[in-house]
């Protein structure tokens, strides 16, 4: 067969592509040089951690870096617990006096009876001390006594973008001094591994992270620590392409607080909230009923009786500004309040009853365990009082101080207390119960049962009726809709 001739133009194009490719390979080599340089800059600060701990039985399909145990079951999968050896990693972030502070994961050192640290130069520190732990971020600080130590530098995680190169350091499966490279796959991930009280805002990466990497640093191409390797999503217990790291914007302040105070105090308002942009139909209807036209902010649904915000924030308020800065979402609000020192007075702007109002809330300390607000205490079996007003499935009577003492409601001067509520009625389905005290209807204060009944009768329930309600547990916002 005759060969097809190649034109001079085509040949010249191919030649140019080859030359360009060879030149571009120099850039690839430059990237390799970056990785090698980062390794030399960071590795002296990376440590391996071994613990002896009493561990509970573990199991499950998805494996989020269990305590990297290599105990009786030799691998940290399902097991019966007992005394076990744990392995993990850490990074020296401050050299102080005759030693240094190391940041690692809480799950690496939690409940450890002893902690041994091996430095990058092979020295072993057998008596490392856990200075403080913070389960809500899965971070912990360990103190060692040694000389000739080098601290890594912090970097900023706030400027990260998808596609940025990152490198993960640690001791996966006990292989000390390992480094892997990848990119940022996603940001602001919540994966549900730290529980309802957990602070999750993970950096997702495709740099290989495996058991043993826990607590090691995630660094940028400048050799700066922008995260702490914490978790993997896997059905095998090994890396499946999804790794997660606590960003430095969270890790750094926790580190500073733990090494100084041994614990993290977080601010707390004691309110139940929802995004005004929530797509849930009920939330949309409630927010719309307030007349709020904004696209960002946080709706206050309930205020706990013993909450720091009680008596200042009201159910139905929409928080739009804190300390002069716009509140974008629930996540935004929670992070900013949690980062506020308890006892601090926060200035807020809220949308209330059709207009803006400025309030000041003294932030409390977030308790170790918080029960979800239920709003109403449930149907009570209180002895029935004299006949009252009946409207829309509710029997109402005047609220007074004596009634307040009987049902445990304080801080309310007047209103209409619910004596009975018909099961299956619209008020019942909206969550109203015996013992609830109605203080406002559609934004209008009501001082007596008669006033409340009058406003309720005049309201168009098909469009929704807004109630401010208080009971022994706190205050909340209720929307009654008759379909």
If one compares 223 and 434, the residue with the highest pLDDT of the two is 223
Question: How far is it, in rounded angstroms, from Cα 254 to Cα 227?
Answer: 12
Residues 6 or more apart from 150 whose CB is under 8 A from it? 44, 45, 92, 95
pTM confidence score: 0.63
Residue 43 has pLDDT above 80, yes or no: yes
> Which CATH architecture fits 389-480?
Roll (2.30)
Residue 370 has pLDDT above 50, yes or no: no
DSSP symbols for 446-473: --SHHHHHHHHHHS-GGG-EEEEEEETT
In this prediction, residue 79 carries a pLDDT of 44
Residue 78 has pLDDT above 60, yes or no: no
In this prediction, residue 60 carries a pLDDT of 33
If one compares 165 and 338, the residue with the highest pLDDT of the two is 165
- Average pLDDT, stretch 428-443? 83
Picking from 185, 235, 176, the residue whose alpha carbon sits closest to that of residue 207 is: 185
**Which helix or strand (DSSP H or E) is residue 352 part of?**
strand 345-352
Task: Identify the band that residue 154 occupies on the pLDDT scale cut at 50, 70 and 90.
Answer: very high
Residue 98 has pLDDT above 70, yes or no: yes
Question: How far is it, in rounded angstroms, from Cα 128 to Cα 106?
Answer: 15
Question: How far is it, in rounded angstroms, from Cα 85 to Cα 50?
Answer: 7
Cite the DSSP H helix spans in 52-203: 106-109
Structural domain boundaries in the chain: 35-264, 267-365, 389-480
In this prediction, residue 241 carries a pLDDT of 75
Task: Identify the band that residue 376 occupies on the pLDDT scale cut at 50, 70 and 90.
Answer: very low
Q: Which fold has domain 35-264?
A: Thrombin, subunit H (2.40.10)
Least confident range from 51-60, 143-152, 215-224: namely: 51-60
In this prediction, residue 227 carries a pLDDT of 95
Give the dihedral sign, CA 124/126/131/137.
Answer: positive
- Both structure tokens of 361: 């809330």
**Residue 295 buriedness (CB in 10 A; 0-12 / 13-18 / 19+):** exposed
Please determine whether the domains at 267-365 and 389-480 fall in the same fold group of CATH.
Answer: yes
Residue 73 has pLDDT above 60, yes or no: no
Give the residue numbers marked as catalytic.
Answer: 107, 138, 214
If one compares 339 and 14, the residue with the highest pLDDT of the two is 339
In this prediction, residue 281 carries a pLDDT of 67
Task: Identify the band that residue 119 occupies on the pLDDT scale cut at 50, 70 and 90.
Answer: very high
Task: Identify the band that residue 65 occupies on the pLDDT scale cut at 50, 70 and 90.
Answer: very low
Structural class in CATH, domain 267-365 = mainly beta
Q: What is the pLDDT of residues 391-427, one digit of tens each?
A: 767 888 888 877 887 788 877 888 888 888 777 677 8
Least confident range from 134-148, 297-311, 337-351: namely: 297-311
Residue 371 has pLDDT above 60, yes or no: no
């Amino acid at each position: 067969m005759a060969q097809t001739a190649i034109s001079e133009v085509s040949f010249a194009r191919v030649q140019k592509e080859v030359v360009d490719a060879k030149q571009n390979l120099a850039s690839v080599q430059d990237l390799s040089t970056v990785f090698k340089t980062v390794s030399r800059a960071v590795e002296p600060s990376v440590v391996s951690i071994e613990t002896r701990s009493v561990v509970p039985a573990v199991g499950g399909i998805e494996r989020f870096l269990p305590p990297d145990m290599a105990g009786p079951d030799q691998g940290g999968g399902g097991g019966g617990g007992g005394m076990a050896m744990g392995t993990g990693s850490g990074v020296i972030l401050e050299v102080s006096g005759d030693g240094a502070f190391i940041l690692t994961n809480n799950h690496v050192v939690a409940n450890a009876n002893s902690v041994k640290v091996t430095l990058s130069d092979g020295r072993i520190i057998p008596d490392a001390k856990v200075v403080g732990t913070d389960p809500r971020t899965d971070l912990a600080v360990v103190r060692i006594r040694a000389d000739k130590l080098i601290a890594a530098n912090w970097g900023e995680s706030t400027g990260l973008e998808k596609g940025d190169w990152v490198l993960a350091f640690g001791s996966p499966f006990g292989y000390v001094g390992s480094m892997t490279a990848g990119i940022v796959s996603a940001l602001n991930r919540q994966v549900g591994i730290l529980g309802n009280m957990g602070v999750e805002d993970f950096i997702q990466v495709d740099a290989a992270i495996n058991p043993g990497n826990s607590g090691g640093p995630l660094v940028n191409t400048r050799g700066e620590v922008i995260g702490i390797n914490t978790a993997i999503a896997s059905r095998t217990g090994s890396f499946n392409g999804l790794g997660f790291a606590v960003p430095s914007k969270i890790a750094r302040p926790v580190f500073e607080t733990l090494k100084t105070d041994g614990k993290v105090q977080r601010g707390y308002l004691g309110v139940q909230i929802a995004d005004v942009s929530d797509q849930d139909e009920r939330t949309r209807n409630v927010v719309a009923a307030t007349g709020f036209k904004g696209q960002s902010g946080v709706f206050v649904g309930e205020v706990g009786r013993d909450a720091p915000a009680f008596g200042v924030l009201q159910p139905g308020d929409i928080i739009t500004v804190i300390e002069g800065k716009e509140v974008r979402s629930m996540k935004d609000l929670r992070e900013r309040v949690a980062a506020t020192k308890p006892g601090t007075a926060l200035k807020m702007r809220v949308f209330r009853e059709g207009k803006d109002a400025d309030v000041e809330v003294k932030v409390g300390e977030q308790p170790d365990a918080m029960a979800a607000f239920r709003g109403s205490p449930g149907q009570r079996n209180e002895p029935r009082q004299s006949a009252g007003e009946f409207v829309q499935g509710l029997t109402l009577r005047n609220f007074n101080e004596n009634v307040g003492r009987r049902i445990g409601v304080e801080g309310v001067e007047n209103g209409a207390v619910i004596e009975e509520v018909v099961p299956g009625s619209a008020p019942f389905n909206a969550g109203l119960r015996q013992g609830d005290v109605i203080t406002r209807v559609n934004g209008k204060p009501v001082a007596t049962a008669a006033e409340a009944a009058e406003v309720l009768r005049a309201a168009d329930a098909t469009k929704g009726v807004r109630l401010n309600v208080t009971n022994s547990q706190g205050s909340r916002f209720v929307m009654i809709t008759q379909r």
